[in-house]
Amino acid sequence: MDAAISHYWEQSDQFGHAIAYLLLLMSLLSWTLMLSKAWSFWWVRKAAPSIKSFWLAPTMTDALTLLRLRDKEKIFLTLAETAVSAADRQQLASTLSVDSGISEVLMRALRQELQSATTRLENGLTILASIGATAPFVGLLGTVWGIYHALTSISMAGMVQIDQLAGPVGEALIMTAFGLIVAIPAVLAFNAFNRINRITLAELDGFAHDLHAHLSRQQENNAC
């Protein structure tokens, strides 16, 4: 295998080398993203159970402190802090006799933070999907170019025997294999991260709904 790769590299031209370097770059980029996202999602999923503990805390201050300790990625924490901050600002506005609607203000703040969290969670997934979709075709392009280059060399040398043709063609197929080696982990990681994203976003949406209901009810009680 090593000899075939070495021989293919020696026989290939600059275009063939460029395709190989492109596949290498795609592989490095995809693995960097996969490891980074896996680490990030591990912390996110580890923090998810703390939502239940959040609602068991005696005060909102204690609940936020709990999230600060457990939510290293600050996905749930930022949402809670945004909601509490919006509610506090609106309470101050009400005290100053400024016309306000706590429900609308909270809804707007939570919606904006959910959009921000969604962007953070989905960051890098488009690149993974693109690598998974295009790497096989980049490898196939390398194979086609390698076969063309081999046939041209054989034709110029006047060699037409099948055994002399099989070697260069077989070596050119290595590029297709490399393309698949790059693409398969990227596709598997993309599907796994997408599933984690759906679960996390559903939990965030539920958490936002509960925060909205709790803080709105709290403000109404304070107003009475």
Tokens 């096989």 identify what position?
136
**pLDDT band at residue 7, thresholds of 50, 70 and 90?**
low
* Mean pLDDT taken over the chain: 84
13: part of which helix (H) or strand (E)?
Answer: none
Q: Assess contact for 68 and 77: CB atoms under 8 A.
A: yes
Contacts for 135 with CB less than 8 Å, ≥ 6 apart:
23, 26, 179, 180, 182, 183, 186
Task: Read off the pLDDT of residues 10-39 as tens digits, 9 standing for 90 and up.
Answer: 666 788 789 889 999 999 999 999 999 999
Could you give the CA distance from residue 4 to residue 169 in angstroms, rounded to a whole number?
11
pLDDT at 97 over 50: no
Residue 48 has phi, psi (to 5 degrees) of -55, -45
Q: How do the domains of the chain map onto residue ranges?
A: 2-6+14-223
3 state SS for 77-106: HHHHHHHHHHHHHHHHHHHCCCCCCHHHHH
Low-confidence winner among 74-83, 140-149, 185-194 (lowest mean pLDDT) = 140-149
Q: Structure pTM?
A: 0.81
Token pair 């290498």: residue = 24
Euclidean distance between CA atoms 35 and 110, whole angstroms: 30
pLDDT for 94 equals 52
Hey, what are 46's tokens?
């580890």
Mean pLDDT throughout 187-207? 95
Per-residue pLDDT tens over the stretch 100-154: 556 777 888 899 999 999 999 999 999 999 999 999 999 999 888 888 877 776 6
The region that residue 16 occupies, defined by phi over 0 for left and psi between -120 and 50 for alpha, beta otherwise, is alpha
Q: Cα–Cα distance between 183 and 26 in angstroms, integer?
A: 9
**Cα–Cα distance measured from residue 217 to residue 118, given in angstroms and rounded to the nearest whole number:** 27
pLDDT at 27: 96
